[in-house]
A = this chain, B = another copy of it.
Amino acid sequence: MAVNIAILGFGTVGSGVADILAMNGASIEAKTGKKIELKHILDLRDFPDSPFASLVTHNADDVFEDPDLQIIIETIGGARIAYEYTKRALSKGISVVTSNKELVSTHGVELLKIAEDNGCSYLYEAAVGGGIPIIQPLYRDLAANKIVRIAGIVNGTTNYILSQMKDNGISYEEALKEAQENGFAEADPTADVEGIDAQRKLSILSTIALEGNYVSPDEINAEGISKLTLDDIDFEEKAQAELKLIAYFENADNGAIAYVAPTYVARGNLLASVSGVFNAVMVDGNALGVSMYYGKGAGTMPTASAVFGDIIQAAVTEGHPAESRLWKEGSVKLVPYADVKADIVVRLDSKADELLKIFEGYSPVALDCGDAVIVTSITHGEADRLCAQADGAKWFHILR
């Protein structure tokens, strides 16, 4: 029996879902026993040249009043109209699959509850890591683990920009421009380069790692890459590390920690080898230990691949949706950023001796290069205070 789906928002990801269905629909049916049928495409635009033109409608009622619809794919983005449509669908018992990290990270608590109350699913594998399976593995394959730590490269745009700065020795501004010209960065890159996109994704990962205890993006301290210079990139050699924008979560004894920050990742760590638009998420579970999930974090087909994984999940579990994965609000409070202890590297060109004095209390270790010291387990607040003393000293997180 056919499973009828509709796509809301026929952009990059939405059109990829339709393309995958055309490309692999037959083998998907052979594998899963589910015939997925695309019935509607809701978009303000027309797509006269698309093979799916006949399915396009501008009238939401054509979608929501269709009694034979099982699954809606929300690839509109944003938290306004997408929010209204998602509530409307879930309230009717229609499962919703999305790649919308903003909506999931801001309204996930409410939307998952509505899904639960109406016996349908709200699935969002594609919201984090693009095509990389990470949400489902965390929920299901790692269910026997307490998640101790997560460190991820979850934004392809910034990782691409950092790789370009390094490989071509160009400034942040030049690299951003190049990324925009090649379609790897948006006209308004703010959400990516300021770490907001990573912040939303980390909110989702942290909430899952805390077994559904919601961590709002607003609680997560996020620093982007827009202030990074070529000096910071050049320092990679001295530090024997790669500078990456890392989304970090830790379930520490004194509470949960979550932040997004440029971080020097030691070259022994696999994350250091993740370059260009690729994403990777390192997960530390108390049974499994360290595992990593790597792949394309963006792009039409990769993201659509993840969306489709959820479509099939929703299809095969129809009538008996996956185990409850509700999020609970207000039950967890992150350790204030200033109080979070971290391992850092502090740079003050050709003045390591001065740094050694200033950070004396933390038994700093000088790097061979002579103008930087490693400080272990210092709070962010103290790092800021002491760097202020060392006029012009810059500190960064390090990940070993």
Among candidates B140, B270, B274, residue contacting A136 with C-beta atoms closer than 8 Å = B140
In the complex with contacts A24-B144, A24-B145, A27-B211, A288-B302 CB distance below 8 A: yes
* Contact string against B for A residues 287-300, beta-carbon threshold 8 Å, 1 for contact and 0 otherwise: 11111111110010
Closest 8 CB pairs of A and B: A291-B295, A144-B308, A133-B141, A287-B305, A288-B305, A292-B294, A131-B288, A141-B309
Q: Among residues 309 to 334 in chain A, which have CB atoms less than 8 Å away from a CB atom of chain B? A: 309, 311-313, 316, 320, 322-324
A304 within 8 A of B: yes
A29-37, A191-199, A240-248, A339-347 - interface stretch: A29-37
A389 within 8 A of B: no
6 contacts between A and B (CB under 8 A): A24-B144, A132-B291, A143-B309, A144-B305, A287-B302, A289-B302
B294 touches A289 (CB 8 A): no
**Which residues of the partner chain B approach A125 to less than 8 Å between Cβ atoms?**
141
A367 within 8 A of B: no
Among candidates B142, B273, B274, B309, residue contacting A142 with C-beta atoms closer than 8 Å = B309
> Given the complex of chains A and B, what is the CA–CA distance between A270 and B323 in angstroms?
35
A interface residues, tally (CB under 8 Å) = 57
A255 within 8 A of B: no
A336 within 8 A of B: no
The residue in chain B whose Cβ has the minimal distance to the Cβ of A316 is B323
B137 touches A312 (CB 8 A): no
Q: Among residues 272 to 294 in chain A, which have CB atoms less than 8 Å away from a CB atom of chain B? A: 273-274, 285-294
**Which residues of the partner chain B approach A293 to less than 8 Å between Cβ atoms?**
291-294
Q: Among residues 119 to 142 in chain A, which have CB atoms less than 8 Å away from a CB atom of chain B? A: 125, 131-133, 136-137, 140-142
A24 touches B301 (CB 8 A): no
A28 within 8 A of B: yes
A141 touches B137 (CB 8 A): yes
In the complex with contacts A23-B286, A31-B211, A144-B312 CB distance below 8 A: yes
* Contact string against B for A residues 194-218, beta-carbon threshold 8 Å, 1 for contact and 0 otherwise: 0000000000000000011000000
How many Å from the CB of A206 to the closest CB on chain B? Answer: 15
A143 touches B32 (CB 8 A): yes
In the complex with contacts A32-B323, A324-B33, A286-B133 CB distance below 8 A: no
**Which residues of the partner chain B approach A302 to less than 8 Å between Cβ atoms?**
287-289
Among candidates B273, B289, B295, B312, residue contacting A296 with C-beta atoms closer than 8 Å = B289
A312 touches B143 (CB 8 A): yes
Q: Among residues 16 to 43 in chain A, which have CB atoms less than 8 Å away from a CB atom of chain B? A: 16, 20, 23-24, 27-28, 30-34
A146 within 8 A of B: yes
How many Å from the CB of A175 to the closest CB on chain B? Answer: 21
The residue in chain B whose Cβ has the minimal distance to the Cβ of A19 is B287
The residue in chain B whose Cβ has the minimal distance to the Cβ of A299 is B289
**Which residues of the partner chain B approach A285 to less than 8 Å between Cβ atoms?**
305
A306 within 8 A of B: yes
Among candidates B142, B145, B301, B309, residue contacting A140 with C-beta atoms closer than 8 Å = B309
How many Å from the CB of A34 to the closest CB on chain B? Answer: 8
